[in-house]
Structures are given as C-alpha cells and as structure tokens.
Amino acid sequence: MSATQETVREDGIIESVSGPVVTARDLDARMNDVVYVGDEGLMGEVIEIEGDITTIQVYEETSGVGPGEPVENTGEPLTVDLGPGLLDSIYDGVQRPLDVLETKMGSPYLDRGVDAPGIELDKQWSFAPEVAAGDVVEPGDVVGTVEETVTIDHKVMVPPTFEGGEVVSVESGEFTVEEAVVELDNGEEVTMRQEWPVREARPSETKKTPRTPLISGQRILDGMFPIAKGGTAAIPGPFGSGKTVTQHQLAKYADADIIVYVGCGERGNEMTEVIDDFPELEDPSTGNPLMARTSLIANTSNMPVAARESCVYTGITIAEYYRDMGYDVALMADSTSRWAEAMREISSRLEEMPGEEGYPAYLAARLSEFYERAGYFENVNGTEGSVSAIGAVSPPGGDFSEPVTQNTLRIVKTFWALDADLAERRHFPSINWNESYSLYKDQLDPWFQENVEEDWPDERQWAVDVLDEEAELREIVQLVGKDALPEDQQLTLEVARYLREAYLQQNAFHPTDTFCPPEKTYLMLTSIHHFNDEAFKALEAGVPVEEIISIDAAPRLNRIGVQEDYEEYVAELKDEIAEQLREQY
C-alpha cells in the first residue's frame, strides 16, 4: 500500500474525530483519496464529501488525535503494491508487512503512523527476460519471469495502465523492483512493481463458465458439493462448528496455484494461530513450504475497524494479479461477518440510514462486488486464470436468517452449511448434507467423468437419494421406533449410516484421512454402494436384516479413509462383503 509523501497536494484541518471516522474542513480531495491524518500522519481514506467537509475513515487508532490538526491529501486512491515478494508474506489490512513493522517497532503490535511498502524495495530479484528488442508488447503481456519462491515463477507483466509499444531495451540479471527491466519506444519503463487501486477490479478479456473443479481433498466437498476453479462459496456456521478448520484444509490442500488467506477480524489468538502455523506447514503435493504459494492478510479484532473494511479488497487485488499471470488462485476470507460488521460500525458513525439489523443499505452491493471479482477468466494477455472466493460467515447464534448470511446466499453458488448439532455429535466436517448445495455440480460432472469415472454423477445421486430417504425415515423412527419399520427400510438406514460415518465424516487431523483424492472418494462411495446391493440381494433371498447388518466385513467400510493403500484394501473388502453375505443364502 502506498501513497508517497511527495505527491501531497493540499492541507485541510480536522473538524471532528469519532473513532475511526474523522471529518476535515477545506481539504481539496476526491472520493477514495488516501490522506494522512493528524500530526502523526495516520493513514485514512476519503469516504464522503459534502460541501467543504470531507469525511475520512482512518486505518489506525485515532485516540489522542483532535480538531485543528492537519490532514494531507495524497491525491491517490488506496492501492496495493504488486510484484515479487507478495508470496511468503504476512500483511495487515492495508498491506503493511507485519514482520517489517515488527522489526521497525520492536514489537508485533502496530504503532501508529508507521508506513512500510507492501513489497521489499531494496531486495534484488533475478529477472529472466522473455521478450527481445523489436518485439511489440501490449498491456498485460509478460515480459519476463522471476523465481519468486521455490514453487512459483512470478510473471512480470506490462501494467494495464501502460499504452504498450515496441521494446527498445531489455535487461537480464539482478534488479530491485523499482529498476526498469524493459523499456518501450514511447518511453514507458516496465519494472517488477506495479500498483493497483484496491477497490477496482483488474481488467480482463472475458469471464468464462468454469468447468474445472477446485479439488479440496475433502470428500463431502468434492463428492457432494464441489466448487469450481473460479467459483464462489460460503461457509456459514456458528462458533465452534468448523469454519476455520475447513478454511485451513482448503488453504492446505486445494489444488490452486496460489492461496490468499484473509483473516478478517477474528479474535487475535485465532489469527496468531494462523500466523504461527502456516509458516510451519508443508505443501503436501510438492513438499515445499506452504507459504511459498501463500499470501496472508491478518487483521485481528484488536486492529482498527477501517483496516478490516479494506482487507478483503487488498486480498482480492493480490488474487487478481496472480490470475493475470495465468494462475489459479483461491482466496479464503475468514470471516466476512467481521468485514460486514466493520462496514456497519463505520456506517453508524456516519449516521447513515441503517438497513436490516443496523447494517448499511449497501451491504448486499458490497458483498456482491466482492464475489463478482471471482471467476474463471481469459486474461488480457491471452492466458487463462481463475480466482475462487470462499468466505466464512459467522452468524450470531448460528441463525442463518440474519442479513450477512442471507445476502451472501443470494450471490454465491456453493453453500456449505455448518451445523452445530453435527459438531456437537463430533460429526466432522459438520457440513449439513441436507441444507448444503453446489450449483456447479452439473457443469463439473464432465470433468469428474473424464478424470475419475463415467458414473461419478450417478453414484453421487445414489448417495443423495439414500440420505434423503434416511431423513424421511428418521421422522418415522422418532414416532414409532426403528423396529416398527419394514426390513428393507431398516437396511436403508444402515446403508445411510455408513454413508454418514464412513464417507461424509473425515478427520482433518489424521495424517492419511486429512486429504482424500477424488479417486479414493469415488472408491469409498462405490464400496458402500456395493454393500448396499449385496445386502439387498441377501434380503430378497430371505436373510433376516439383523444377520445382514452384523457381518464382520461391513464395519471395515469405516476404515477406508485411514488406509494409505486404499485400492488393495477396497478390493479385498468388497470380495469379503459379497462372500459373507452370499454364504447366508
């Protein structure tokens, strides 16, 4: 994030201070200009102009700041610094690197008025050109690469704001992000650093229908409610239901090239967990540190509210930048409720007309503007890339009828409903299979059919039908008891139990079960289907249901998840199930 002191245009005077909201008089400013407030120069952004009174939201604590102090306008919108060094970094909500701030101030608590560039300005990167003198380049075109981390090659692109032209000179070797590496005939100089205003989507050629799943390695997601690369999803759930674990599982295992994790306003200790944990984790597919493909934005609840408002924009802009390089990016925001609450707080300080439950009337518009920036794109440089956006929602008391959940539901196409009852029963992930949905299912089926098995959609539908039937039968069981049900329905309940316990449950903390590739997901489901078919054959042949469900082999279905050599295990298990059932008739 930057706004350099040299570009300061005009001074104003503080009129009033109300928490994060400051008004100033006589400031020559436009909407969304970044300003420096008070003697300490706290960073803020213009959010309202009426006559000669300008209203500013300040990204830092304003205690002690008072009327009469100066306000300086930079004349520039809030921007992010983009370039090598974004990965393996941890930022606050206005892209100040937390480790840099820590060394500057000697403590992990952010001091006021401390500014730091989003990417290191004096670090040398090895630039390998991909264009030569005489080539013609347009905005967005890749002019070279930098090995940013062990996993990711950073593509250096002509900024979207350039005109483009013929390359007159190209450098190769070690440079800082501010040194020109490519010069064009119109005088434009391409460096490894670009800036982009956070509230504006980066340009793209077209948005396409996403047709590839973002594989998460979580059975209930991939197998039942898949999200597409470029898709949107919401994870609402009450406290303790598993939002954070689900987001972390996605950050670790999702088959995206880049992960942007926005920790927004959760309690400080939860975010500390992320900040402490993530740098220790390994990327299971490459063995490299997970941070080598990750950018973390941490804005805890004790950090100023306005920075919480901006952190999701900072995150999505970084995501779009890597998308432009042709990467698949997954952005997790935990939690969008805290973001909405920040909007609510600022709106009430502005004395705006409140909407539902005190949220501003523009809540729905802001949420949709955010999720709109996700998608599968053809980029301006001809590559394809995607941004998938996954937002946790923490409705107070777990009540999904509140405005943030409801407005999010109208926008996102995948809904993973976490359920307090399931969590209490230790059914994890506690995603409610009756309430959740994915509108991507049909468009992703061809991928699963081609890459896993032809009957993937049929098998999933079979499981959905059994679970639906179970839900109906359970109501009857509550009235009359299980034994009053006909034998075939008792057997259906048993099959449904295996679907729940073996297939839908998955232990995030078991070294093998934590990640389940789609092939294994398919085999687990079809093993249960196999048990179902053999069991119903036995029932038709006159075997009593108690004997069918008490065969030794059946409970071993619950152990497939923890098998590393699952193919062999499943093949043997299927044979045994058939054998044990058939010998009874």
Single residue of 55, 149, 241, 295 touching ligand ADP by CB under 6 A: 241
- Asked whether position 237 contacts ligand ADP by CB under 6 A, the answer is yes
367 vs 337: CA distance, rounded Å: 10
**Smaller CB distance to ligand ADP: residue 267 or 474?**
267
**Crossing angle (nearest 10°) for helices 456-480 and 487-498:** 120
Beta bridge pairs of residue 129: 144
Closest to ligand ADP by CB, 516 or 528: 516
The one-character DSSP state at 62 is -
- Rule CB under 6 A: is residue 196 a binding residue for ligand ADP? no
In the bound complex, what is the minimum distance in angstroms from residue 253's beta carbon to ligand ADP? 12
Q: Which stretch binds ligand ADP (CB under 6 A): 10-18, 243-251, 276-284, 496-504?
A: 243-251
When the beta carbons of 141 and 266 are compared against ligand ADP, the nearer one is 266
Total number of residues that touch ligand ADP (CB under 6 A): 14
Q: Is 358 in the site for ligand ADP (CB under 6 A)?
A: no
Asked whether position 436 contacts ligand ADP by CB under 6 A, the answer is: no
| Among positions 112, 229, 243, 520, the unique one binding ligand ADP when judged by CB under 6 A | 243
- Give CA angle at 85 (187, 33), nearest 5°: 65
507 binds ligand ADP (CB under 6 A): yes
DSSP string, 284-316: TTT-SBGGGGEEEEEE-TTS-HHHHHHHHHHHH
User: Under DSSP, is residue 49 helix (H, G, I), strand (E, B) or coil?
Assistant: strand
SS (H, E, C) 474-534: HHHHHHHCHHHCCHHHHHHHHHHHHHHHHHHCCCCCCCCCCCCCHHHHHHHHHHHHHHHHH
The rounded distance, in Å, linking the Cα atoms of 408 and 421 is: 23
Work out how close the CB of 464 gets to ligand ADP at its nearest, in angstroms, rounded to a whole number: 21
Q: Annotated binding residues for ATP, as ranges?
A: 237-244
Nearer to ligand ADP (CB atom), residue 237 or residue 304: 237
Smallest distance, Å, CB 111 to ligand ADP? 30
**From 164, 429, 518, 561, residue interacting with ligand ADP (rule: CB under 6 A):** 429
Q: Which is nearer to ligand ADP, 86 or 516 (CB)?
A: 516
- Residue 293, Ramachandran bin (φ over 0: left; ψ between -120 and 50: alpha; else beta): alpha
Provide the 3-class DSSP secondary structure of residue 385: strand
| Known binding residues | 237-244
Which one among 428, 433, 462, 515 touches ligand ADP, defined by CB under 6 A? 428
Contact criterion met (CB below 8 Å) for 142 and 108 = no
Is residue 242 part of the contact set for ligand ADP (CB under 6 A)? Answer: yes
As a whole number of angstroms, the distance between CA 132 and CA 180 comes to 15
Choose one: 155-163, 237-245, 534-542, 575-583; the region binding ligand ADP (CB under 6 A).
Answer: 237-245
Q: Which of 460, 380, 390 is nearest to 233 (CA)?
A: 390
Binding residues for ligand ADP (CB under 6 A): 237, 239-245, 428-429, 506-509
